[in-house]
């Protein structure tokens, strides 16, 4: 039988392999070889979804009213729950009708954002290292990515003054992320104020990824970008229930903030996909209605894990700043060592999966990322394996 010549579009050809899919492939190959793999690569919580959320889903699934197509923007009751949570958590007032949009996980909204705001040839600003979807979404929209490096000397926050004025004048959107993935850096109010000034000066829409705002330590709560005066006039904030409530597989998140920007995002969403299953939205309401104290035990577990892994890495000679938020640990590796090679060595010699920093962008070279989504016992075992294999810092 004759075959046609399958020619992928240029946007597919130019797209780098999705980092976490490649890591999962490496992990599965090691498992097939019979290795007991400690997976510190992907930020997927190992803790169960809290019982009240599961119970609400079970009840909602049986309701025939939830078996039809959901609305694109999300149930009003869910958006009201989001607005109430933002008021309680951040003291930010949102109109649930115009300033909240439900998403199939925040990744969906982040990936669609460039389609809503970037024309072919336009520039999107983003950080390096950074979440790969910022760049992928920009490529799909035909835009150009300008990477602002996150450097240790700047506390892994982007230096806005380093962005050339010619680039800033061409930029349409700027992806920022705090608490940050992969560096775990946490932005200050002063930094957000400088971002708002920058956005006003160059007419740039700020897209703030706040997926990790509720995973914090030592009682120090990260601020919301929208809690800073003037933020709603220049930006939107993406949030997810995935990390906060251990709901990565449930696929529910939301975008909040500037109503005009959300209307544009919703226009893309309504043409490209559908809404979130209403039973999952009902479960999302249960999550948002949980008292903050209910999340304390989750944070305590992550903090115990942090306080086990970081000292262990220090003992092995690695330079790492103990994270104040997120469940990521950003680790400097020995000089003149490529992060991909170091991660490969970890897997082959110690059966540990870690993420090479270069996978988050060129400025991530020289680092690897580990997650706190494995038990304390497994984290301590990882340190022991590294020590026995001679995988140490320098």
Write out pLDDT tens, residues 288-305.
999 888 899 999 999 999
Last residue of a domain, one of 274, 290, 306: 290
Two tokens at 275? 């809404």
Q: Evaluate whether 179 touches 149 at the Cβ level (below 8 Å).
A: no
Model confidence at 1, pLDDT cuts 50, 70, 90, reads: low
Strand partners, 239: 254
Q: Evaluate whether 92 touches 318 at the Cβ level (below 8 Å).
A: no
Task: With respect to residue 217, please indicate whether it lies within any of the assigned structural domains.
Answer: yes
Residues 6+ apart with CB under 8 A from 337: 366, 394
Longest Cα–Cα distance of the chain, Å, equals 66
Same-domain check for residues 302 and 228: no
Quick check: 10 pLDDT over 90? Answer: no
Last residue of a domain, one of 265, 290, 315: 290
Model confidence at 18, pLDDT cuts 50, 70, 90, reads: low
Summarised one tens digit per residue, pLDDT across range 196-224 is 999 999 999 999 999 999 999 999 999 99
Same-domain check for residues 112 and 86: yes
- Beta-sheet pairing, 235-240 with 171-177: unpaired
Same-domain check for residues 73 and 173: yes
Question: How would DSSP label each residue in 344-381?
Answer: HHHHHHH-EE-EEGGGG-GGGTTEEEEES-S-HHHHHH
Same-domain check for residues 109 and 209: yes
Task: With respect to residue 178, please indicate whether it lies within any of the assigned structural domains.
Answer: yes
DSSP 45: -
Of 223, 246, 206, 225, residue with least CA distance to 327: 246
Task: With respect to residue 139, please indicate whether it lies within any of the assigned structural domains.
Answer: yes
Can you tell me the distance from the alpha carbon of 286 to that of 342, in angstroms, rounded to the nearest whole number?
A: 42
Task: With respect to residue 3, please indicate whether it lies within any of the assigned structural domains.
Answer: no
Summarised one tens digit per residue, pLDDT across range 96-121 is 999 999 999 999 999 999 999 999 99
The CA distances from residue 44 to 14, 41, 195, 248, in Å, are 27, 9, 30, 7
Same-domain check for residues 337 and 197: no
Same-domain check for residues 137 and 157: yes
Integer distance in angstroms from the first to the last C-alpha of the chain? 59
Can you tell me the distance from the alpha carbon of 323 to that of 185, in angstroms, rounded to the nearest whole number?
A: 7
- Beta-sheet pairing, 205-209 with 171-177: parallel
Task: With respect to residue 4, please indicate whether it lies within any of the assigned structural domains.
Answer: no
Quick check: 257 pLDDT over 80? Answer: yes
Task: With respect to residue 304, please indicate whether it lies within any of the assigned structural domains.
Answer: yes
Rounded to the nearest 10 degrees, what angle do helices 132-140 and 106-117 cross at?
A: 40
Rama region for 98: left / alpha / beta (φ>0; ψ in -120 to 50; rest): alpha
Q: What is the CATH number of the domain that holds 312?
A: 3.90.1150.10
Task: With respect to residue 127, please indicate whether it lies within any of the assigned structural domains.
Answer: yes
Can you tell me the distance from the alpha carbon of 132 to that of 23, in angstroms, rounded to the nearest whole number?
A: 14
Q: What is the mean pLDDT of the chain?
A: 95
Strand partners, 356: 368
Summarised one tens digit per residue, pLDDT across range 114-158 is 999 999 999 999 999 999 999 999 999 999 999 999 999 999 999
Could you give the residue ranges of the DSSP H alpha helices within the chain? 10-13, 19-32, 51-61, 76-90, 106-117, 132-140, 165-170, 189-202, 231-234, 241-244, 259-272, 278-288, 296-315, 339-350, 376-389
Same-domain check for residues 314 and 190: no
Model confidence at 20, pLDDT cuts 50, 70, 90, reads: low
Same-domain check for residues 26 and 67: no
Q: How much is the average pLDDT of 42-58?
A: 96
Can you tell me the distance from the alpha carbon of 128 to that of 341, in angstroms, rounded to the nearest whole number?
A: 19
Same-domain check for residues 35 and 182: no
Same-domain check for residues 99 and 139: yes
Same-domain check for residues 19 and 91: no
Query: Which domain, by its residues, includes 145?
Result: 52-290
Number of domains in the chain: 2
Q: What is the CATH number of the domain that holds 162?
A: 3.40.640.10
At 209 the three-state DSSP class reads: strand
Task: With respect to residue 1, please indicate whether it lies within any of the assigned structural domains.
Answer: no
Two tokens at 56? 């609400």
Last residue of a domain, one of 290, 322, 347: 290
Summarised one tens digit per residue, pLDDT across range 348-390 is 899 999 999 999 999 999 999 999 999 999 999 999 999 999 9
Residue holding tokens 């104290």? 293
Same-domain check for residues 224 and 339: no
Two tokens at 376? 């304390």
Two tokens at 80? 């009201």
- Residue 58, number of CB atoms within 10 A of its CB: 11
The CA distances from residue 56 to 96, 223, 350, in Å, are 22, 29, 42
């Amino acid at each position: 039988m004759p075959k046609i010549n399958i020619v992928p579009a240029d946007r597919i050809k130019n797209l780098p392999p999705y980092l976490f899919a490649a890591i999962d492939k490496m992990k599965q190959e090691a498992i097939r070889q019979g290795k007991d793999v400690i997976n510190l690569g992907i930020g997927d919580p190992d803790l169960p979804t809290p019982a009240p959320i599961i119970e609400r889903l079970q009840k909602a699934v049986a309701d025939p009213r939830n078996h039809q197509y959901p609305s694109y923007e999300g149930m009003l009751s869910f958006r009201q729950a989001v607005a109430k949570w933002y008021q309680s958590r951040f003291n930010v007032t949102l109109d649930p009708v115009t300033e909240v949009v439900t998403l199939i996980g925040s990744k969906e909204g982040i990936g669609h954002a460039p389609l809503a705001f970037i024309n072919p040839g336009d520039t999107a600003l983003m950080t390096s290292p950074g979440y790969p979807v910022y760049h992928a979404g920009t490529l799909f929209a035909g835009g150009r990515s300008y990477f602002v490096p996150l450097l240790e000397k700047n506390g892994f926050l982007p230096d806005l003054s380093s962005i050339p004025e010619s680039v800033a004048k061409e930029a349409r959107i700027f992806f920022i992320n705090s608490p940050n993935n992969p560096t775990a850096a946490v932005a200050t109010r002063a930094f957000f104020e400088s971002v708002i000034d920058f956005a006003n000066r160059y007419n740039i829409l700020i897209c703030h990824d706040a997926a990790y705002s509720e995973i914090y330590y030592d009682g120090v709560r990260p601020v919301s970008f929208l809690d800073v005066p003037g933020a709603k006039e220049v930006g939107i904030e993406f949030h997810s229930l995935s990390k906060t409530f251990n709901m990565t597989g449930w696929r529910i998140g939301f975008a909040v903030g500037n109503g005009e920007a959300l209307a544009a995002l919703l226009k893309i969403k309504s043409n490209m996909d559908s809404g979130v299953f209403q039973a999952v939205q009902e479960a999302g309401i249960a999550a948002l209605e949980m008292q903050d104290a209910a999340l304390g035990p989750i944070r305590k577990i992550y903090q115990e894990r942090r306080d086990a892994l970081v000292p262990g890495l220090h003992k092995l000679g690695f330079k790492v700043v103990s994270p104040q938020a997120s469940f990521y640990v950003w680790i400097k590796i020995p000089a003149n060592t490529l992060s991909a090679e170091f991660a490969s060595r970890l897997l082959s010699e110690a059966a540990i999966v870690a993420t090479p920093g270069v996978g988050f962008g060129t400025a991530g070279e020289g680092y690897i990322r580990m997650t706190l989504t494995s038990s304390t016992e497994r984290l301590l075992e990882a340190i022991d394996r590294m020590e026995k294999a001679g995988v140490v810092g320098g």
